[in-house]
Amino acid sequence: MFSAAHGADKVQVGHSVELAGRGHRLLITLTGSCLADTIFTARSVPADRILVAMVAVGEGPELGDAFGRALSDRQTGQPGAIVIERDDGFIEVDSGDYLGGWSDRDTWALERAPGRVLDMGAGAGRASLAVQERGQDVVALDVSPGAVGVCRRRGVKEVFLGTVAELAAAGGAPFDSVLMLGNNLGLLGSLERAPEALAALGAVLRPDGVIVGACIDPYQTDKPVHLAYHECNRRAGRMPGQVTIRVRYQRLATGWFDLLWMSLNELGEIAAPAGWRVTSALPGAEYRAVLARN
């Protein structure tokens, strides 16, 4: 079969063969007892021990719902690494336990999120499920179709696929609290975008509603690679903790987007002109904070 496909009947296992002019690569893997460095002929290996996959060559990762696909796979017992790629080339495996993880700090946050709750950037819905268990109404909102599907399958009763602005446009009852766990206060994005993001959250909240969230304090590190990134940001006129990243999972990548890691003080300074103030906080490298209107 290989000779018909690419003009040779011998392929080194673990290597790939480019199909001339087609922009694709043929990947061949042997399973079972076959040795990985064997030169084999197609006829010498049982068909059920050969896995063949076609991947595009030179096109990089496929743009898509990397985070949602990873959550869906995890939900069906197929765990795989989620990789965060920063625009300076720094990569890191995301160690978040999005399906099962919970901490005392998250409980602290939940206890400060009364009434009807919007779980902003719900992921696999761990916060929404905890809110439901407390007997409160909650809407799990996420821009990832995969994440929203996982929330639904895990039993979150109300889900919304889209942005907060789209939810506001769709109408519906106002919320008493917005929850932004999993460091989702970072979704404020940048110094420039934060006022618009806070206004969108304000638009779905009652006047006395609160935002309860988590965020990374970027200054609680001594790693040279991060300090150099901060410095680069300063020189470019950005806040030190603004990171441009994309999420990678297998061959998928999201588009590039910005998160804003800020100290508690910076959060207060950014929130104030938009009419918000920090009313209580649990300080730390991954702090929790409550914001209310002035």
Interacting residues with ligand SAM (CB under 6 A): 67, 98, 120-123, 126-127, 141-144, 147, 163, 181-182, 184, 187
- Residue 277 Cβ vs ligand SAM, minimum distance, rounded to whole Å: 23
CA pair distance 117, 201, nearest whole angstrom: 12
- Residue 106 Cβ vs ligand SAM, minimum distance, rounded to whole Å: 8
CA pair distance 200, 5, nearest whole angstrom: 55
- Residue 12 Cβ vs ligand SAM, minimum distance, rounded to whole Å: 40
Return the number of the residue (26 or 181) whose C-beta is nearest ligand SAM: 181
Tokens in use for 209?
């509603």
Return the number of the residue (11 or 147) whose C-beta is nearest ligand SAM: 147
| DSSP 8-state class, residue 64 | S
How many alpha carbons fall within 13 Å on the CB side of residue 38? 14
The count of other CB atoms within 10 Å of the CB of residue 197 is: 21
Asked if residue 187 lies in contact with residue 211, where contact means CB atoms within 8 angstroms, the answer is no
Return the number of the residue (50 or 120) whose C-beta is nearest ligand SAM: 120
* DSSP code string of 235-253: HTTS-TTEEEEEEEETTEE
Return the number of the residue (13 or 145) whose C-beta is nearest ligand SAM: 145
- Residue 89 Cβ vs ligand SAM, minimum distance, rounded to whole Å: 21
- Residue 170 Cβ vs ligand SAM, minimum distance, rounded to whole Å: 14
- Residue 184 Cβ vs ligand SAM, minimum distance, rounded to whole Å: 5
User: Which neighbouring-strand residues pair with 252?
Assistant: 62, 249
CA pair distance 70, 182, nearest whole angstrom: 16
Asked if residue 39 lies in contact with residue 10, where contact means CB atoms within 8 angstroms, the answer is yes
CA pair distance 222, 208, nearest whole angstrom: 39
Return the number of the residue (16 or 102) whose C-beta is nearest ligand SAM: 102
Return the number of the residue (127 or 267) whose C-beta is nearest ligand SAM: 127
